[in-house]
Structure formats: C-alpha cells, structure tokens
Amino acid sequence: MCNFSSISLLLISVGYIYICSAKQNKSHDWDILIFTQHWPLTVCLQWKETQAQHSCIFPPVKNIWTVHGIWPTKLGKWGPEYCNVSLHFNKTQLEPIEQELEQYWTDIHNGSTYKLWKHEWTKHGTCAAALHDLDMESKYFGQGLKWINQYQMANILGMSGIQPNNRYTAETVWNAVQKWLGKNPAVQCTVDPKTNETYLFQIKICFDKNLTLTDCDGIKGTSDPATGIKTNCPLKETFVYPSILPPEYGKPLDTIERPVYGQHSWLLEALHVIQFLQWMTS
Ligand SMILES: *[C@@H]1O[C@H](CO)[C@@H](O)[C@H](O)[C@H]1NC(C)=O
Ligand SMILES: *[C@@H]1O[C@H](CO)[C@@H](O)[C@H](O)[C@H]1NC(C)=O
Ligand SMILES: *[C@@H]1O[C@H](CO)[C@@H](O)[C@H](O)[C@H]1NC(C)=O
Ligand SMILES: *[C@@H]1O[C@H](CO)[C@@H](O)[C@H](O)[C@H]1NC(C)=O
Ligand SMILES: *[C@@H]1O[C@H](CO)[C@@H](O)[C@H](O)[C@H]1NC(C)=O
Ligand SMILES: *[C@@H]1O[C@H](CO)[C@@H](O)[C@H](O)[C@H]1NC(C)=O
C-alpha cells in the first residue's frame, strides 16, 4: 500500500520534472519579433503616476518616439523571456553606440543609465540571440537603432496628419501605420487613473526571422472582433496623443530640463525628407 503510493508519487514527480523541463526548453521557441516604440510623454505620465516624485528623462531631440524593445514572441503567447542566462549584459559592448541609444532608446524613467538596456537584453535579447543577426548586444541594439530611424512613428503618423496635441480614434492611428507599412501593426493606449483620460502609448510593428516586416495579427493582445484591428484603445471614442503632461503631473514638457546633444538632429531631418520622398513615390 505504502510502497505503491510512494512509487506512484515518484513516477508522477519524474513525469512532472520531465514534462516541465521539456516545456521550459520548448518555450524558448518563437515565431516573430515585435518592435515596440513608445511615446516618451505617455511613458513619463505612467511613471509619475506610480509615484509623484519620479522624474523623467526625455530624448534630446524633441517629438520623437523611442524604442522600448525588440521582443521575440510566440504567436498567441507572451514571450519567451530570459532564454539564456549565460549571455550576461556587458555595458562595454554598448559604448560605441551609447549616445545614439540615449537618443533613440532612452530610459524615460530616471534611473541608472544602463537599467533599461540591461533589462531588455536579459529578458528579450537573450531570446532574440537565437538569430545570427541579433546574437550579440551590439547587433540587437544596433538593429533597434536602425528600425527606429527607418520606422520613426512621429514621421509615419505625421504623413497622415496625425500630430501630438490632438485626439484620434484607434482606427485613424492604426490605418495610418498600416498604410505606410503595408502590414498590420498593434496600437496600445493607457488610461490615467487620476483623470480616466486615455493616452496613446505604444505602437508595435512586427518582423519575421529574416527581419522582414510582417503582420502583427497573431500576437497576444486585444483586437476588435469587427475590424480585426489589434488595439486596446477605445474604438468609438477618441484618445489623446499628448504634447504636454497633464497639470496633475507638474510642468509642461518644455520646462523639463533635458540634455542637448543635437548632433543627430541633422540625420533625423535627412531621414524625414527621405521617408517623405519614399512615401510620395510609393
Ligand atoms: C533542451 O533540453 C535537452 C534535455 O534537457 C537538452 O539536452 C538540450 O540542450 C536543450 N536545448 C536547449 C536549446 O536548451
Ligand atoms: C547560451 O549562450 C552561450 C554563450 O554564447 C552559448 O554557448 C549557448 O549555446 C547558448 N545556449 C542556448 C540554449 O542557446
Ligand atoms: C565585456 O566586453 C568587453 C569588450 O568586448 C570585454 O573586453 C570584457 O571582457 C567583457 N566583460 C565581461 C565581464 O564579460
Ligand atoms: C532622478 O531624479 C532625482 C530627483 O529629480 C534626482 O535627484 C536624481 O539625481 C535622478 N537620478 C538620475 C540617475 O538621474
Ligand atoms: C474614473 O472612473 C471610475 C470608474 O468608472 C470612477 O469610479 C471614478 O470616479 C472616475 N474618476 C474620475 C476622476 O473621473
Ligand atoms: C527567409 O529567407 C529565406 C531565403 O530567402 C527563405 O527561404 C525563408 O523562407 C525566409 N524565412 C522567413 C521566415 O520568411
């Protein structure tokens, strides 16, 4: 009796360990890469909302979207995450591109310089590293910089007349990005619990393992059953694409001190022109 149950217990445990380790292993597979850009002002708003004394760091060039991360993902699931513990974050490898990262992959949350990059590398980069094109920090972060310039949302939205300091519907924003890319994005909003106001927050675009644009349709998240539009933003009502922090959160953006490097702005301007020409002729 006693023996029987011990043996069953043992068998169950062995089975459990076997299944779990197989699952763990398999869970490192992924289908596509989500490239997520966020709007710094909304990120700041969320950050300040969690604690009043939080301060924000904005990218030196105004009115650009910045990189949140490149996230390998299995369709219909979150993750995988933290795929390879032996790929330690090494800040030395980012030194050559550090200034660009501060500009385009800014840690809006005021914290230590490497916090966001270390987090993104450990959680997502170690999974993306399954691809030869992304198997080192310099490649992973370099790819983020390439994409944020090529697919800068301030420009893409701007082409359709979508500008900060206005209200839009999910369909308007989603359509603008879809029209530019020819692929389906995902648009995310966040609600400010202090005012119940909804703000445009993040835009995700997706790439296959050849780093070619692809639809984000299968990724986890809410979509509108009627249109298939992937968004958690309100579908009927408008939301804010903010240009200043609401008064509840302190000073307007223009009075928040931020470092000025400025040497990349000519590059950004050139990219605006190139993107506009591409758009005109496409
Ligand atoms: C998956 O698990 C097996 C057995 O546990 C192991 O031999 C193999 O190296 C693992 N593969 C990966 C990619 O972790
Ligand atoms: C994790 O990274 C190490 C160091 O680059 C590499 O040798 C190893 O194959 C990787 N493991 C997996 C499961 O990818
Ligand atoms: C970090 O990378 C640098 C340059 O590639 C290398 O010299 C150094 O040994 C690495 N440090 C660690 C802790 O791996
Ligand atoms: C974060 O903000 C606080 C208060 O504004 C400031 O004292 C601190 O130096 C900042 N930390 C960093 C790393 O910028
Ligand atoms: C926000 O909405 C919640 C629930 O609908 C309501 O209880 C709360 O009073 C609202 N707050 C404001 C500031 O409108
Ligand atoms: C990537 O490109 C290769 C060669 O062009 C092709 O065979 C393969 O199917 C592509 N993979 C994906 C995921 O598109």
Q: 214-270 pLDDT, tens per residue?
A: 999 999 999 999 999 999 999 989 999 999 887 777 655 444 444 443 334 444 445
Asked whether residue 228 is assigned to any structural domain, the reply reads yes
- The answer to whether the CB of 38 falls within 8 A of the CB of 68 is yes
Nearest alpha carbon, ligand 3 atom 14 = 90
Instruction: Examine residue 5 and state whether it is found in any structural domain, yes or no.
Output: no
Is 237 a member of any domain? Answer: yes
Q: Please tell me if the CB atom of residue 90 comes closer than 6 angstroms to any atom of ligand 3.
A: yes
Q: Residue 99 domain-assigned?
A: yes
User: Range with the lowest mean pLDDT among 17-21, 53-57, 198-202?
Assistant: 17-21
Phi-psi region of 211 (alpha: psi -120 to 50; beta: other; left: phi over 0): left
- Domains of the chain: total: 1
Residue 21 lies in a domain: no
Neighbours of 198 (CB within 10 A): 19
Atom nearest to 209 CA in ligand 6: 13
How does pLDDT run across 71-92, given as a tens digit for each residue? 999 999 999 999 999 999 999 9
Pocket test for ligand 4, best of 48, 51, 110, 115 (most atoms within 8 A of CB): 110
pTM > 0.85: yes or no = no
Cβ of 138 below 6 Å from ligand 3 = no
Nearest CA to ligand 6 atom 8: 210
Ligand 2 centroid distance, CA of 134 (Å): 13
Q: Ligand 6, atom 6: nearest CA belongs to which residue?
A: 210
In a domain, 196, yes or no: yes
Largest CA distance in the chain: 80
Is residue 17 scored above 80 in pLDDT?
no
The CATH number of whichever domain residue 237 belongs to comes to 3.90.730.10
CA of 96 to the centre of ligand 4 (A): 25
Judging by beta carbons within 10 Å of its beta carbon (0-12, 13-18, 19+), is residue 13 exposed, middle or buried?
exposed
- The range of the structural domain enclosing residue 132 comes to 29-281
pLDDT of residue 250: 67
Residue 23 lies in a domain: no
- Look at residue 1 and tell me if it is in a domain: no
Instruction: Report the catalytic residues.
Output: 68, 120, 124
What is the number of the ligand closest to the CA of 130?
A: 2
| Nearest CA owner, ligand 5 atom 1 | 196
Q: Is residue 80 reached through a cis peptide bond, with omega within 30 degrees of 0 on the bond before it? A: yes
Those residues with Cβ within 8 angstroms of residue 191's Cβ, 6 or more apart along the chain or in another chain = 197, 198, 199
Cα of 195 vs centre of ligand 5, distance in Å, is 7
